Amino acid sequence: MSRFWSQVVRDLTPYVPGEQPKIAHLIKLNTNEHPSPPSPKVLEAIRAELGEDGARLRLYPDPNADLLKTAIAKRYAVAAQQVFVGNGSDEVLAHIFMALLKHPQPILFPDITYSFYPVYCGLYGVAHRTVALADDFSIDPEDYCQTPNGGIIITNPNAPTGRLLPLAAIDRIAGANPDSVVVIDEAYIDFGGESAIPLTARHDNLLVVHTLSKSRSLAGLRVGYAIGHPDLIEALERVKNSFNSYPLDRLAIAGAAAAIEDDEYFARACRQVIATRDQLVARLTGLGFDVLPSAANFVFARHPQRDAGELARALRARNIIVRHFKLPRIEQFLRISIGSELDCLALGNALHDILGT
């Protein structure tokens, strides 16, 4: 606290990201990064953009990132005017909160979901009301169909639970709320769900957000995007152009476009994660854990006899890090990212050891 801080800064409660440790040889299963490198075509594209001497870095990038928007539009069979891109989907989400969710009525989101949403509400002064998930951590779409609201945001599959909401439920929620924007954050959709993007053709209030950080192995490049009606996209462009004209640098535009275009590599990398997830779920279940059904690249698991915080600390002592949220309802769960097969094997062995089974 300092006398120079504005009232806005005094009142902030910033998001705390999962740890990015500087120590080598850690098995890192705490921030849902992909265990495989990105498509080799990403590297080729970045090298080509750098050229022999990097002279192109003298020049500003395309403020509209048209190359990337065109690649995304083609991949999802939408028009380029339906695509917004940003510096990670976190930035895209931030612009959405300011541009489309700040209204007199409170917005709605689940009590257990991506913990950045209340942070954006605090930053932009967006009123919000949380809706409790059911005891099995599922979302009841009807909870979002009766209540007047200033907007709705749902992570699907949800984080950190991993549970998937069927497309029909999203269709129902979007249809029942014609006067508010319904945002579906699909950060994990490629690991077992069906995207709501095709529904944007029928619902002008539906906005779908994706990231290249998880299923495209590019958390370090910082690229995310939103797809929806051109009027929604225009609102985001207005905020973006009042904030930073060049959120994506030249290397990010080139690399991200190449990643989107390499569907074959992408599909294979997703299948690998899903196969490893199935093995890990079986292993954890065998060790006595209750594991929620996951359509994501992580699992959410609880041991009926052992404290989750203690398990996380015991794993940490064995150089394995997982995520433990000290939050109501989920404090006895661990969120474990799907790493490589070897990482997950090591995790299973360490837990076996810790539990003494």
Ligand X SMILES: *Cc1c(COP(=O)(O)O)cnc(C)c1O
Q: 345: which 2 tokens?
A: 């094997």
By CB under 6 A, residue 337 contacts ligand X: no
Which range, of 19-27, 87-95, 145-153, 262-270, touches ligand X by CB under 6 A?
87-95
DSSP letter assigned to residue 262: -
The one among 107, 154, 219, 311 contacting ligand X by CB under 6 A: 219
Residues 129-168 binding ligand X (CB under 6 A) are: 155, 159
By CB under 6 A, residue 269 contacts ligand X: no
Cβ within 8 Å of residue 78, ≥6 positions away: 197, 200, 201, 227
What would the DSSP string read from start to end of 113-175? S-TTHHHHHHHHT--EEEEPPPTTS---GGGGTSS--S-EEEESS-TTT-PPPPHHHHHHHHH
By CB under 6 A, residue 248 contacts ligand X: no
**What's the sign of the alpha-carbon dihedral 124, 92, 153, 134?**
negative
17 vs 286, beta carbon nearer ligand X: 17
The one among 30, 180, 200, 213 contacting ligand X by CB under 6 A: 213
219 vs 259, beta carbon nearer ligand X: 219
By CB under 6 A, residue 89 contacts ligand X: yes
Helix and strand totals (H; E) in the chain: 11, 12
163 vs 283, beta carbon nearer ligand X: 163
By CB under 6 A, residue 338 contacts ligand X: no
- Rounded Cα gap, residues 282 and 190, in angstroms: 21
The one among 110, 224, 247, 339 contacting ligand X by CB under 6 A: 224
Contact 340, 276 (CB under 8 A): yes
- Rounded Cα gap, residues 160 and 183, in angstroms: 17
187 vs 270, beta carbon nearer ligand X: 187
Which range, of 49-57, 66-74, 82-90, 282-290, touches ligand X by CB under 6 A?
82-90
Interface with ligand X (CB under 6 A) = 88-90, 114, 155, 159, 185, 187, 211, 213, 219, 224
